[in-house]
Amino acid sequence: MELGVGAYLKKINKSLVLSKIIKHEMISRAELSNITKLTKATISSQVSDLLEDGLIIETEQEYNSVGRKPIMLSLRQNAGYALGIDLDYQNITFTVSDLKGNPVHSDHVELENSNYDEILHLLIAQIRGYQEKFTDSCFGIVGVSIGVHGTVKNDETISFVPQHKWYNKDLKRDLEKILNTVVYVENNANLCSFAEKVYNFHQSKNLISISMYSGIGIGFLINGELVKGYHGYAGEMGHMIINPNGKPCNCGNFGCWELYASEVSFINGLSEKLNKPKLSYEDIENLVIERNPTVMEQIDKFIKNVSIGLNNIINILNPETLVLNSELLKLFPEAMSLIKSNLKASISNYKEIYISDFGTNACVMGACALAIKNFLDIPELSLSVDQVEFYNQVI
C-alpha cells in the first residue's frame, strides 16, 4: 500500500514539475523548488527522471556576474509531435505540432462525399503518413485528436453529425484498432475553447468560445474545466430557438440561432440576394469597403441576430471571457462595437469579448493541445506561440 502511495505522489510531483517548466518556458531548479514548494531533493530527482525520459533539456543561461552560470530547464519541443484533425463537412484539415504547440506541417483534404467508411480509410492513410514522416523523433506522433462538427458523447463516441448524416459512429475505436496510437475524439467547439484557454487566455477560468462557420458550436469552460453535460452534448446553443416561426433546421426544430447567425447562413443569404453564387471572403470584404447597400443591410441583420444569442448565453452562464470565432466579423471594422452596444443584459454580464486570432485553425490548434496535454499527463497546459503560421497543402 505504501509503495502505491509513494508511486502516486511521485507521479503527481512529476506532473507538477513538468507543467511549471512548460508554463515558464525556461526555469532553474531553484525557481522550481520555490514555485512548487517541493524540496530541492525532490526537484532534483524529478528533473533527473525527465531528462532521462528525453522530455526536457538543460541550457546554460547567459550570465554576466561572477559565479556559476545558472542551468535552465525547458521542454524538449521536438521530442514528439501531436496530430490535430478538424473533420468538417466538405474538407478535413490535418495539422502536426511540436510539443510546444507550434505547427510544423498542415494539409487540407477536400471531401467528395460523406461516406463514413471512405472517410475512415482516408484518415487511416493520412495518419499513417504522419507516423512515418515523424518517426525519427524520440516519441513520434504522441497522439491524434479529432474535432467533430456534431455531438460527441462522454465516451468519445459520435452521436450525430448533421451535415454528414452520421449516427452512432465509434471513430475512436475504429481508428485505434488499426493504428498503433491513441486517438481522442471531441466536439470541435470544445477544442476551439480549449485552444483559446491554452494559448491565449491562461488566467481565464470561465471562458466561452463560439464557432460561427458551418453552423454555431459553443465550447465553454467553468472553473477552468470543459463543461460537457450529462451525455456530452452541452454547448449546442446553435439550436436554441430565436424565432419560433422561423426556418426549418436539420435538428427538427424551427428558427434555430445558427440559421440566422452562422457564416454559412449569411453567405448563402447574401449570394441569393446578389445573385452571385460562391461568394468568397474577399468578395464580401470588397463589398464592405464599397459599402454596398445590400451587404450592409445583411450585416446589420446578422449582427443583431448574433447579439440575440450572445445576450441569452451571457444571462445563462455569466462568462468572464467571450471569444467569437468568425472570419466574417473580421471583415467589418464596426462589428465588435455594434455587438457590444447590443449586449445590454442588466441581470448578468461578462468581462471581455474578443474575435479569435486563430480563425478556422482554432479547432486543430485545440486538438494538438489536447493530445500534448494527455501525452505529458499534466493537470494544466499553458503554451505561448508568438505567431501561428500554417503551411496548408491541398490534397
The architecture of the domain spanning 2-75 is Orthogonal Bundle (1.10)
Say if residue 377 is exposed, middle or buried (CB neighbours under 10 Å; 0-12, 13-18, 19+).
Answer: exposed
Q: Read off the C-alpha cell for 248.
A: 426549418
Residues in the chain: 395
DSSP 8-state code for residue 241: B
- 225 pLDDT more than 50: yes
First vs last C-alpha separation in the chain = 54
Q: Which residue has the higher pLDDT, 326 or 162?
A: 326
Of 2-11, 172-181, 279-288, 322-331, which range is least confident?
A: 2-11
Q: Which residue has the cell 468519445?
A: 156
Q: How many Å apart are CA 254 and CA 349, to the nearest integer? A: 28
Task: Give tens-digit pLDDT for 116-141.
Answer: 999 999 999 999 999 999 999 999 99
Sign of the alpha-carbon dihedral angle for 47, 72, 105, 203: positive
Q: In this structure, which amino acid lies at residue 95?
A: T
Confidence bin at 389 (pLDDT 50/70/90): low
Q: How many Å apart are CA 233 and CA 164, to the nearest integer? A: 18
The pLDDT of residue 7 is 81
Task: Give tens-digit pLDDT for 140-171.
Answer: 999 999 999 988 999 999 998 888 999 999 99
Task: Give tens-digit pLDDT for 104-116.
Answer: 999 999 999 999 9
- 390 pLDDT more than 60: no
> Cα 49 to chain center, whole Å?
31
Q: Which of 93, 97, 96, 77 is nearest to 85 (CA)?
A: 93
Q: Give the dihedral of Cα atoms 116, 118, 124, 126; nearest 10 deg.
A: -120
- 4 pLDDT more than 80: no
Alpha carbon separation from 242 to 78, 305, 312, 313 (Å, rounded): 48, 8, 10, 12
Q: How many Å apart are CA 266 and CA 257, to the nearest integer? A: 12
The pLDDT of residue 227 is 87
Task: Provide the whole-model pTM.
Answer: 0.89
Mean pLDDT of the chain: 90
- 309 pLDDT more than 70: yes
| Strand ordering across the sheet containing 81-87 | 183-187, 141-148, 81-87, 91-98, 103-110, 392-394
- 395 pLDDT more than 60: no
Task: Give tens-digit pLDDT for 30-68.
Answer: 999 999 999 999 999 999 999 999 999 998 876 555 556
The pLDDT of residue 391 is 45
Average pLDDT over residues 314-341: 93
Task: Give tens-digit pLDDT for 231-270.
Answer: 887 888 899 999 999 999 878 899 999 999 999 999 999 9
Of 6-15, 141-150, 302-311, 317-326, which range is least confident?
A: 6-15
Q: Coil, strand, or helix at residue 297?
A: helix
The pLDDT of residue 392 is 47
Confidence bin at 387 (pLDDT 50/70/90): low
Task: Give tens-digit pLDDT for 208-219.
Answer: 999 998 889 899
